[in-house]
Structure 1
Amino acid sequence: TKNEINGIIEFLTKGPLDPNVEVVVGVPAIYLDYSREKLPKAIGVAAQNCYKVAKGAFTGENSTSMILDVGADWVIIGHSERRNVFGESDELVGEKVRHALESGLSVIACIGETLEERESGRTEEVVFRQTAAIHKAIGSGSWDKVVLAYEPVWAIGTGKTASPEQAQEVHAQLRKWLAKEVSESVSSKTRILYGGSVTAGNCKELAKKEDI
C-alpha cells in the first residue's frame, strides 16, 4: 500500500546512505510511478517483472517501455515466485533479461534452488543452469548492467536463512562459473546479491563474506 511505501521511504531518507552502496527498491507495478516521484533520485526504482517483447496483446503484463516511462531504471527478472508459481522457464527468463537490457533497463536476475534440490545436492547444478540460460540469451557483452541475486527458494519468507558460509560457497562457485564460461572480468565485476530471510540481525555477517 502507499502507507507501507511511505514508511519505507521515510526509513531510507531518514539518514545519509553510504555513497559507496547503490540502493534500489523493487516496487509492485501499480506503485512504480508513485515511488519514483517520492524517492530521492539517488535511490533506484525497480519493477518486479516485465515481458520479453516490446509490443503485443499481452493483457496484464508490463512492457519495458512502460517501466521506463514512469522513471524506473531497473527490473527484477526470474524471481523464484515467477519461476515456481507462474511457471517461468530458464529460457523465458533469459529472453526477458535480453529484452530488458536492449531496452535500456538494468536487471536484477534471480537464481536459486528449492529445498528438494539443495537436499539432493543439486544446488550448483541448478544455479549454473539458470545462469547459463541468461548467458546464452545475452552473450558476454551486457553483464555490466546485470546484478545476479542468489535467492534459495527454501529461505524466502520462511524464516530459514542460508548461513553466511552456505551463501558464500554458492557465490564463490558462481564466480568460478562466470570466469570459466563468460570472462574473468565479468566474474570479478558482477555484483552477486544474497536474498532470503535477510534481517537486521544477520545482514552484517552476510555482507562480510568476500563474494556477497
Structure 2
Amino acid sequence: MEQDLISKKELLELTGISYGQLYRWKRKKVIPEEWFMKIATFTGQETFFPREEVLERINKIITLKDEVSLDDMANMFSSKPENFKINEKLLLERKLVSVATLTLYKYNFGNCLEFNFSESVALSLFDKLLKIKGISINDVVSIIEDIKERFDDIQCEDYNLVILKKNNSEELFIIFANDKVLEIGGVKVVEVINLKNIINSLKEIWLED
C-alpha cells in the first residue's frame, strides 16, 4: 500500500507552525529525522512526511509545549525513555491497576516498589488481560513472559496483541499484528489490545507526575 504523505509546504500551512519551529523540533528530536523524506518531484526535490504520524505528533507538541519542555517531550516520544520510574502509589492513584492486580503481579514476577518502563507496560497489560473472560492466570503469566522477552522489538512498532481461540476449543494463543485483524474460519478473535496506546498513556502519566 502506498504511504500517505504530506509535503512540507502543506504541513506548515495546515498546522500554522513556522519553518524554524519545524526544524527546531527536528533538532530536539521531538519529530524523528526519518520522517523528513527527500523526494524528487517535477519542480525539484521536496521534503515530505508521513501524513497521519506527523500531524498527530505536531498536535501533541502544540498541546504540551506550554507545560512540558522539548527535552522531556523527546524523552516521552523515545522508544526507551530515560529515568522512567513509576511507584505503586501513583499506579493506584491513577487507577492504572488495582491493589489485587498489583499483588498478583508481584506474586508471579517478584516484589518491587518502583517499576521501570518495561515493567510498567507489562503490569498495565497484565491488568487488562486479567479482565478478559475465559483467560486463566497461567495464560496471562505466559503472555507477559513472552512480552518481556520481546519488549525491545515490540515497543518500537505499533503492534496489536491479538488473543485468539479456535472454535470448540478452550485453548488460547496470541499473535502480534500491526494492521487490521480479520477473523478467519475456525478461529475467533477474543481480544485486541493496542500496545502503543498502553505505552503512550504511561509516558504521559510519567511526565505529568
TM-score (norm 1): 0.24
Report the structure, 1 or 2, having the larger strand content.
2
TM-score (norm 2): 0.24
